[in-house]
Amino acid sequence: MFEENQEEPSVKPSKTVAPRFAIVTDSACDLPYEYYAAHDVALVPMHVRLDGADLLDQVDVSPADYYVRLACTKSNPTTSYPSPAEILDVYQRLIDEGAPAIVSVHVSSGVSGTVTSAKTAAREASKSVRCEVVDTRLASAAEGLVVAALVSARDRGASVDEALARAEQVMRATDLYFILPAGHQMVWRRGAAIGLRRLMAAMFGVRPLLYLDEDGSITERSSSTDLADSTGLIARIMSRTAQSEGPLRYVEISAGLPRALDALEKPLDTNEFVSSRMAVANAGAAVVSRAGLGSVGIAFVPESVLSDGEWPYESDVTSASHEPEA
C-alpha cells in the first residue's frame, strides 16, 4: 500500500505480572492514537510529505485533518519509512526504562522498508536486550490486530517466544482488502509503476481491488468500474472463509469517503454467513497517501482466532451482526 522514497478500552488494563517485553509498532497499523499510550505501545511514525511539509503520521497530523489537506491540494503526497536511527532511539528509550526485551511489529516488508530499518536498529539494540522484529505481512487495521494480540499476550505474562507464536497465528488468519479510487495514481508494487493500467483506470473509471497475499505483497484481485462489483466479491470471499473457519469479525477502513462504507456493508448484510463489524478504522496519512483519498478497505479474521482482550477498539463502537437467513 506504500511506495517510499526511503526512509479495548481507553484505560490501561491492570497487570498482575511484570511485562516480559516492550512493544513497538509503526503508524501504518492505523490504531487510534490514544491506543498507544493506553496500552504501553511505543509508536514509530511514518513520514508523509505534502506541499513541502514533512509530517509525522498520527503525531503531526490526524487522519481527519489529513483528509482535508489532501482534498485541498493538487500536489501528490509521498511517504517514507522511519530510519534505523529513529527506530533505535525508541528502542534505546525502552531499554533505558528497563524493558527486559523488545518486540517490534511492523507493516509488511512487501510494501514498506520499515522492517529493514527495524532489523538494522535491532542489531544494535540486541547488544543490550533481546530485540525481535515481526514482519506482519499486513498493513492498516490488519496490522493493528497483530499489535493487539501482542498487547494481550504481554499483559497475560507471556514470554517473548509465546507472544511471537501468538502473533504468527493471528497474522496467518487475517486478510486485508482495499478498493482504490478510480484512476488513483498508486504504485501497486514496490518500485514498479504499472503505467498502462493506471492510464486505463483513469480513462474509464476502473477501481482496482487489491489484497496482501501470503508473502505480504500487493496483488490485484480484480477491477471494475462498479464499486458494487468489488464489494460483492469481497462478500463472497468472506463467505467462503466463514464456511470453513466459522463466524468472522471485521474492521472497515475508511479513507475520507464515508458513503463508500455503505457500499462495502450492503453485500455483507445480505450474504448468508455470520459476521460482526466491530469498528470503523480511519486510515492514517501514510496509508491514505498510498491507497488514495476515497479508498475503502476491510480487514477480517475468524472469530475463533481472537481471544478476550485482543480487540483493539472501544467497546462502544457501533456493531453490525449478520446472521445467515433461516
Contact 143, 112 (CB under 8 A): no
Q: Is residue 3 part of a domain?
A: no
SS (H, E, C) 262-325: HHHHHHHHHCCCCEEEEEEEECCHHHHHHHCCCCEEEEEEEHHHCCCCCCCCCCCCCCEEECCC
**Domain shared by 99 and 199, yes or no:** no
d(CA 171, CA 179): 21
| Cell numbers 516488508: residue | 109
Q: Are 26 and 110 found together in one domain?
A: yes
One-letter amino acid of 160: V
Same domain, 141 and 185: no
Q: How far apart are the first and last CA of the chain?
A: 39
- Kindly report the pTM of this predicted structure: 0.87
pLDDT of residue 6: 46
Co-location of 118 and 230 in the same domain = no
Q: What is the CATH number of the domain that holds 196?
A: 3.30.1180.10
For residue 236, the model assigns a pLDDT of 95
Choose the final residue of a domain: 148, 172, 196: 172
Residue 16 banded pLDDT, cuts 50, 70, 90? low
Whether the pLDDT of residue 8 is over 60: the answer is no
Q: Tell me the pLDDT tens digit for each residue of 122-147.
A: 999 999 999 999 999 999 999 999 99
Helix axes 84-96, 114-125, angle to 10 degrees: 40
183 and 266 together in one domain = yes
- Quote the CA–CA distance of 55 and 69 in Å, as a whole number: 12
β-strand partners of 22: 102
CA–CA separation, 48 and 289 (whole Å): 8
